[in-house]
Amino acid sequence: MDVDALHDRARALLPREVYDYYAGGAESETTLAESTSAWLRWRLRPRILRDASSVSTATTLLGTPVALPIGVAPWALHGMAHPDGETATARGAAAADALMVVSTTATRSLGEVAAASDGPKWFQLYRVHSPAYTDELVRRAAQAGYRALVVTADLAVLGRRLRDAANDFVLPPRITMANHPRGEGGPGSTLGAALETMASWTFDDIEHFAGLTDMPVVVKGVLRADDAQRCVDAGASAVWVSTHGGRQADPAIASAHALPEVVDAVGNQVEVYVDGGVRRGSDVLTALALGARAAFVARPTIWGLAVGGAEGVREVLGELAGSLSVAMALCGVSDVTDVPADLLTTA
Amino acid sequence: MDVDALHDRARALLPREVYDYYAGGAESETTLAESTSAWLRWRLRPRILRDASSVSTATTLLGTPVALPIGVAPWALHGMAHPDGETATARGAAAADALMVVSTTATRSLGEVAAASDGPKWFQLYRVHSPAYTDELVRRAAQAGYRALVVTADLAVLGRRLRDAANDFVLPPRITMANHPRGEGGPGSTLGAALETMASWTFDDIEHFAGLTDMPVVVKGVLRADDAQRCVDAGASAVWVSTHGGRQADPAIASAHALPEVVDAVGNQVEVYVDGGVRRGSDVLTALALGARAAFVARPTIWGLAVGGAEGVREVLGELAGSLSVAMALCGVSDVTDVPADLLTTA
Amino acid sequence: MDVDALHDRARALLPREVYDYYAGGAESETTLAESTSAWLRWRLRPRILRDASSVSTATTLLGTPVALPIGVAPWALHGMAHPDGETATARGAAAADALMVVSTTATRSLGEVAAASDGPKWFQLYRVHSPAYTDELVRRAAQAGYRALVVTADLAVLGRRLRDAANDFVLPPRITMANHPRGEGGPGSTLGAALETMASWTFDDIEHFAGLTDMPVVVKGVLRADDAQRCVDAGASAVWVSTHGGRQADPAIASAHALPEVVDAVGNQVEVYVDGGVRRGSDVLTALALGARAAFVARPTIWGLAVGGAEGVREVLGELAGSLSVAMALCGVSDVTDVPADLLTTA
Amino acid sequence: MDVDALHDRARALLPREVYDYYAGGAESETTLAESTSAWLRWRLRPRILRDASSVSTATTLLGTPVALPIGVAPWALHGMAHPDGETATARGAAAADALMVVSTTATRSLGEVAAASDGPKWFQLYRVHSPAYTDELVRRAAQAGYRALVVTADLAVLGRRLRDAANDFVLPPRITMANHPRGEGGPGSTLGAALETMASWTFDDIEHFAGLTDMPVVVKGVLRADDAQRCVDAGASAVWVSTHGGRQADPAIASAHALPEVVDAVGNQVEVYVDGGVRRGSDVLTALALGARAAFVARPTIWGLAVGGAEGVREVLGELAGSLSVAMALCGVSDVTDVPADLLTTA
């Protein structure tokens, strides 16, 4: 089943307010809508007769070997999509040999998710409860075997998500943010209540986390060249271009449009990732041609999870992997780590 | 309730021809339609990790301190939307600590509106009845405590508003323009009859009003650099970029598109304001990044007034203020008087 | 009633195949659709405080004084829209003191139309029957008082009008092209049969007509700078930018888009006119700002004719005149012969 | 009946999965949709008064004289559209004196199609079964009288055609790829099974085929200047700009957009052809003005074939020829081998 079809199935299966929570964006949802269409600013310039009989999608991400340059982006509350929550996602990602980034706001504890599969995993960090507890989460993640720390930097305050406001969305019964120490993210709580403000975070906090752990630090939510350089200066090993699924600033520049300036600024210093609207192999190939090391997807994996649990997640990732392989072969690209920039032209 | 929802409610509540009067524009309504979409020529370039824990929206407009860089633009005939008319609007604006600009064509007298709240107010001037009477209105406004005079300069003749023509729109029973001396703006009269032609006004009239009163003079309806400079030369303390809600020249350049050239011309000499299609905090933030001191809204406050009287006006302004604060925090902007131009990129 | 409303009424009144004949264009109707939208490539930059208390739309066209820079473009077969045919159109145009260009393919003879009103008229020429007869038509037009000869140059062959083909459109009963000598344009004949090929015409034919008559010669259908100059070199006193109502070449450049290059090439040598998609005063004002001396309309007058005969034609022209006057006043333009180019910006 | 009407009729006549097979494209079908709209990036700049009384569409393609610069592009499986399959297409093309390119994946053998008419034909080559058998096909084609060999180079792997996947499309009963040696392309087989991978093909294979046969070699599927030059260097006598009907790489640059760079690179060395979205004479004229020697169409001929067999194919080609002739006359072009580049402007 292709990604659009899985989306349709998931929409039919999920309660309306849960679907809206996953599908929605902030304010006018301009950035949300543009996140997918932005990739269509470019067209492929296929190369012929290049002997594409062997196509490899294998790569490494901060040294972690993976079968795909396509990872599972962090997203809160997988438990609303499937009873097994993030443990199912972890099994599905492992089955595809894809990297999974596990969110602080998971419905299963970071240890439980780590143990659910032996696939490669990174941990995504929000400030929770207190600075000390947040540091404690970082230490636990390292101990549990997470291989990198992804600090989300674009949530100074929660974006205005009008669908959630109209639905009076709160965490449903039996849904708990398992990494929260005192039930702040428990049933009936709002997202705002669950996420203590991170408004005070600065680049010093990146420096703090980089010093706190041996895990390489990735800063997620970068949309500008100047910020990218400051992340690197503060010790980041990678930057992640993202609009947070169109759920924070709106109308913000789409990830696909911000990616080139970030690559120009820091692409020769650190790895650059991107998420936002990636729905086909051609989107991934476009991201790589623009200089990204990998592209991440969130909503597609949620739809897969809702429809088929771990197997649904694997199916979505397999679908994307197949789409990428075909796009590579048709463009005469045999290696994802060597995608030429001239593969693209503007539409 | 967000602004779009209030609009829907108001449309359902108001008589069709009254709704059309408020909602409609001139000729093909191209400028009307473009007034909102024009803000989407730009996208935000959010800045991260800037310590946005304290965000201030307070500013001054020609020395008047206000809580928001968002004011209530002048609009005729509030009495058709709510029995309390402009006095309700004044109470709502005051509750939000926002500036209100009261129209010559109000359904309550300028004195009555001035007395309805202690919030900051400016008076908007049309030529009415005669030059002498018009001057008399200016003097009364100063005495009533209005802090600035906003001279509307884009109504040489009334725009061709085809909805009103098709509806044979006239002032309904019991609706009177209270500042008109002899019932010209009474029930049954058309807008054309109520507004004596101002076609003969020139920049000399700006000089005349600037000399007539101690109130600073704002010229509203400026869409060009050359006109902006001539306003300043004639003694204006501020210029206001506006298409009159898309109700005069059509298809005229949208306010959002004209703003940059006006700021370039006179932004270092006087304050520059803008109205037209401002519906979200991001629109306001965009206007400020382009060099405006404040943005004004009219129709949203009419919808709020129609739905909830003074409280509806306050709700709309609160909604916009909240949206602005979140946009600022997510863009790393802590002060509305210091919004960097590089916050924007073209879409 | 505005132009759009008259159009709707006319559509309801006319037989489908007659409506399609008037409304349709060639091939994909891309040029037809673009003829109106092309004017929206520009936006007005209104000027304020210019003393617009006196606005004049009077001008001269090749020396003919007219009240408006808006003329009635030639169009075949008015008799299908109204029993009085072109004589009604002539009376309506005269009532508005507007120039009418009478077509060779009129359903009333050129003499009859000339006599129907004392308004200013030009005669539009196709090659009919034979070169000798065509020359004879030119002489008759001069004798009947037509003040200029408009040679249509964009009909080397008839455009492929798919609506007419699908409708098997032929001239209805009692409809005759009165200027045709032997019934070629009689009931049951197709347009193709009625119009002998003019494929062989060259610039030499322009020279021929310029030498044949004292009437100034206008070449209609010019869309390029090089052709415009060749028309002037061949003796044309004016060139007329037109796509023949989107009924000939398709997808051809829209008149509004071709106008600037033609004005650049010959605007300082001869008068330049334009037709195609002119529906509002702002379109006319745009054409004048781009350097046209006048704009012409055809379909709007057909709709007026169908709905109200001579009075309908007058109403349409009055509507356009009013719209133009308001646009001028709101842009600080007091004279149609002096419209500044900087009134426009691109959308 | 015009091309759109024939398409509608064909859609109604064909089984859904067969229609989808013909009509569909790859992935998001972006390239498919853009293939037609891409021609509208340009507008014609008609030339007047050029004596267009004699218009010739005759030309030669690699020395083959044809009546039209419009050929029938190769397409698989004509037998699903009409029982006579490619033999009917061949008779229809011959009736229009147009070139037909016969596909390897035809439902009739290359010999049978060659014998069906005496119209000019080229043979399109895929790798089938084995290199040796593929070479054998080339020899058979030469013996059967095909005048050129068109090597399809854009099918390293089969594009992801989601309609076919959703329909579980396989070859219907009684449909066989007649040039396949052992039933690989028989009833029940998928396209993927029928087409052995050509992923290993390189420019060396072009050199191989150029050396193998006296027929001139055309490389089809070129979308880039560098590839075009490499084809020429490898011995190609012509290159064919194509996206394979939007059925391979997606979102790839549209043929109409890639054509100029290919012409710039090799247009003075070899003939350049183009297919993709050609639906009207103006598309053909645009292609010629951009430097193509001819344009090819596939789907329109399939629709004609489905509706009317050989006569339907002839009707479609006649419709296109008529449309081209009118476009030429209206643009002052009398010879398809001499179309000036300045006939075009961007939209």
pLDDT digits (tens, 9 = 90+) for C52-93: 889 999 999 999 999 999 999 999 999 999 999 999 999 999
Long-range contacts of D340-344 (CB under 8 A, 24+ apart): D340/D289, D341/D289, D341/D290, D341/D291, D342/D45, D343/D44, D343/D45, D343/D47, D343/D285, D343/D289, D344/D42, D344/D43, D344/D44, D344/D45, D344/D286, D344/D289, D344/D290
Give the residue among D64, D221, D228 at the shortest CA–CA distance from D151: D221
A31 contact residues in B (CB cutoff 8 A)? 43
Contact A26, A246 (CB under 8 A): yes
- The D-side interface with C (CB below 8 A) comprises 2, 40, 42-53, 280-282, 322-323, 326-327, 329-332, 345, 347
Chain D neighbours (≥3 Cβ pairs under 8 A) are: A, C
C-alpha B177: how far from its chain's center? 18
Mean pLDDT across the stretch A286-297? 98
- Test B331 with A249 for CB contact under 8 angstroms: yes
- On chain A, the residues whose CB falls within 8 A of the CB of D248 are 46, 330
Residue D76 has pLDDT above 70, yes or no: yes
- Measured between alpha carbons, how far is A169 from A192 in angstroms, rounded to an integer? 11
Report d(CA C243, CA D177) in Å as an integer.
49
CB contact under 8 A, C248 and D46: yes
Helix axes B203-212, B225-233, angle to 10 degrees: 40
Instruction: Name the DSSP class of D99.
Output: -
Between vectors from CA D43 to CA D42 and to CA D48, what angle results, nearest 5°?
A: 145
Distances (CA, A) of C164 to B347, C107, C188: 43, 19, 13
Looking at the complex, report in whole angstroms how far the Cα of residue D54 sits from the nearest Cα belonging to chain C.
8
Q: Which of A7, A78, A208, A244 is catalytic?
A: A244
Mean pLDDT (whole number) for A334-345: 97
Look at residue C185 in the predicted model and tell me its pLDDT.
Answer: 86
Instruction: Give the closest-approach CA distance of C201 to chain D in angstroms.
Output: 5
- Examine the pLDDT at A182 and tell me if it is beyond 90: no
Say yes or no to pLDDT of C40 above 90: yes
Chain C residues touching D326 at Cβ < 8 A: 157-160
Distance between CA atoms of residues A297 and D156, nearest Å: 28
Residue A307 distance to chain D (closest CA, Å): 18
Contact A51, D201 (CB under 8 A): yes
Chain B residues touching C326 at Cβ < 8 A: 157-160
Largest separation between any pair of C-alpha atoms in chain A: 61
Give the one of C50, C282, C345 whose C-beta lies nearest to B202's C-beta: C50
3-state secondary structure of C274: strand
Burial of A9 (0-12, 13-18, 19+ CB in 10 A): middle
pLDDT tens track for D244-285: 999 999 999 999 999 999 999 999 999 999 999 999 999 999
CB contacts of C45 in chain B (<8 Å) are 223-224, 252-253, 258
- Give the DSSP letter of residue C122: E
Cross-chain Cβ contact A252/B46 below 8 Å: yes
Query: Would you give the distance in Å from CA D239 to the centre of its chain?
Result: 12
Q: 3-state class of A305 per DSSP?
A: helix
**Contact state of C202 with D332 under an 8 Å Cβ cutoff:** no
Which residue of B42, B45, B326 is in closest CB contact with A160? Answer: B326
Residue in C closest to B38 by C-alpha: C347
Cβ pair B49:A199 closer than 8 A: no
- Are the C-beta atoms of residues B189 and B158 closer than 8 Å to each other? no
> To the nearest whole angstrom, how far is the Cα of C96 from the nearest Cα of chain D?
33
CA of C345: which chain B residue's CA is closest? B253
pLDDT score at D196: 66
Please report, for residues C209, C221, C272, C273, the alpha-carbon distance to residue C262 in angstroms, rounded to integers and kept in the order given: 22, 11, 8, 10
Q: Do A53 and D27 touch (CB under 8 A)?
A: no
Burial of D143-161, coded b for 16+ CB within 10 Å and e otherwise, reads ebebbbbbbbbbbbbbbbb
D205 neighbourhood in chain A, CB within 8 Å: 49
Name residue C167's amino acid. N
A109 DSSP β-pair partners: none
Report yes or no on chains C and A touching (3+ CB pairs under 8 A).
Answer: no
Q: What is the mean pLDDT of residues A270-274?
A: 98
Angstrom distance (rounded) from CA B243 to CA B251: 10
C166 has pLDDT over 70: yes
Chain C interface disruption, residue of D49, D282, D324, most C CBs within 10 A? D49
Contacts of A166 in chain B (CB under 8 A): 5
pLDDT at site C93: 98
DSSP 8-state secondary structure symbol assigned to residue B100? E
Residue of D312, D319, D279, D316 lying closest to D295 (CA atoms): D279
Let me know: does A48 contact D227? Beta carbons within 8 Å. yes
Tokens of B197: 């032609």
Helix axes B299-330, B85-95, angle to 10 degrees: 10
Q: What is the rounded CA–CA span in Å between residue D195 and residue D188?
A: 14
Spatial CB neighbours of C284, under 8 Å, sequence gap ≥ 6: C69, C70, C278, C295, C320, C324, C327
- The verdict on a CB contact (< 8 Å) between C329 and B199 is yes
Beta strands (DSSP E) in C93-132 are: 100-102, 121-125
Q: How far apart are CA A310 and CA A297, in angstroms?
A: 15
More confident residue, A246 or B52: A246
- What average pLDDT does this structure show over A119-140? 96
The tens digit of pLDDT for each residue in B227-271 reads 999 999 999 999 999 999 999 999 999 999 999 999 999 999 999
* Residues A138, A142: Cα–Cα separation, whole Å: 6
Among residues B116, B85, B112, B113, which one has the least CA distance to residue B101?
A: B113
List the single residue in C with minimal CA-CA distance to D4: C28
Bin A74: left if φ > 0, else alpha if -120 < ψ < 50, else beta.
Answer: beta
CATH superfamily entry for domain A3-346? Aldolase class I (3.20.20.70)
Burial per residue of D194-220, b for 16 or more beta-carbon CB atoms within 10 angstroms, e otherwise? bbbebbbbbbebbebbbeebebbbbbb
Check whether C2 has a pLDDT greater than 90: no
Helix (H) or strand (E) holding D138, with range, is helix D131-144
Q: Can you tell me the distance from the alpha carbon of C248 to that of D52, in angstroms, rounded to the nearest whole number?
A: 14
Candidate from D27, D222, D223 with C-beta closest to A280: D27
Beta bridge partners of D152: D220
Residues D153, D219: Cα–Cα separation, whole Å: 7
Cβ within 8 Å of residue B261, ≥6 positions away: B224, B225
C-alpha to C-alpha distance for B249 and C328, rounded to whole angstroms: 9
Is the pTM higher than 0.90?
yes
Q: Are B339 and B284 in contact (CB under 8 A)?
A: no
Instruction: Tell me which chain D residues have a C-beta less than 8 angstroms from the C-beta of C162.
Output: 2
A·D CB contacts under 8 A: 92
State both tokens at B17. 């021809």
CA distance B154 to chain C (A): 6
Reply yes or no: is the peptide bond before residue D120 cis, omega within 30 of 0: no
The two three-digit tokens of residue B165, written as one number: 């023509």
From chain A, the residues in CB contact with D165 under 8 A are: 2
Subunits close to B (at least 3 CB pairs below 8 A): A, C
Using CA atoms, how far apart are residues D245 and B287, in angstroms rounded to an integer? 46
Cβ within 8 Å, pair C27-D322 = no
The pLDDT value given to residue B196: 66
Q: Which chains touch A (3 or more CB pairs under 8 A)?
A: B, D
Nearest by CB: C330 against B219, B226, B248:
B248
Q: Are A272 and A296 in contact (CB under 8 A)?
A: no
pLDDT in tens, C104-151: 999 999 999 999 999 999 999 999 989 999 999 999 999 999 999 999
Confidence of residue A119 (pLDDT cuts 50, 70, 90): very high
Provide the pLDDT for residue B199. Answer: 87
Name the residue facing D253 among A40, A281, A345 (closest C-beta): A345
CA distance B139 to chain A (A): 44
- Alpha-carbon distance of D94 to D148, in angstroms, equals 17
Cβ-Cβ contacts under 8 Å between A and B: the total is 92
| Best of D125, D198, D207, D223 to mutate (most A CBs within 10 Å, chain A) | D223
Q: Which pLDDT score, from 0 to 100, does residue D206 have?
A: 98
Flag whether pLDDT at A196 surpasses 80: no
Strands D64-66 and A149-152: unpaired
CA distance C140 to chain B (A): 42
Q: Which of C78, C208, C244, C257 is catalytic?
A: C244
Can you say whether the dihedral through the CA atoms of C200, C204, C209, C212 is positive or negative?
Answer: negative
Say which of C200, C221, C253 has its CB closest to residue D51.
Answer: C200
A49 contacts in chain D (CB < 8 Å) = 153, 201-203, 205-206, 227, 230
Contact A201 B51 (CB under 8 A): yes
| Helix segments in chain B, DSSP class H | 3-13, 16-23, 30-37, 85-95, 110-116, 131-144, 162-167, 191-194, 203-212, 225-233, 255-266, 281-289, 299-330
Compute mean pLDDT per 10 residues along chain B, 347 residues long, and list them. Answer: 92 98 98 98 98 95 97 98 98 98 97 98 95 96 98 96 95 95 87 81 98 98 98 98 98 98 98 98 98 98 98 98 98 97 97
- The residues, any chain, with a CB within 8 Å of residue B12's CB and separated by 6 or more, are none
Annotated catalytic residues of B are 244
**Taking CB atoms and an 8 Å limit, are B197 and C44 in contact across chains?**
no
User: In whole numbers, what is the pLDDT of chain D averaged over residues?
Assistant: 96
Q: What is the dihedral sign for C-alpha D10, D12, D13, D17? A: positive
Mean pLDDT over D108-112 rounds to: 98
What burial class does residue D193 get, using C-beta atoms within 10 Å of its C-beta: 0-12 exposed, 13-18 middle, 19+ buried?
A: middle
**Tens digit of pLDDT for each residue in D166-188?**
999 999 999 999 999 887 889 99
| Domain boundaries defined on chain A | 3-346
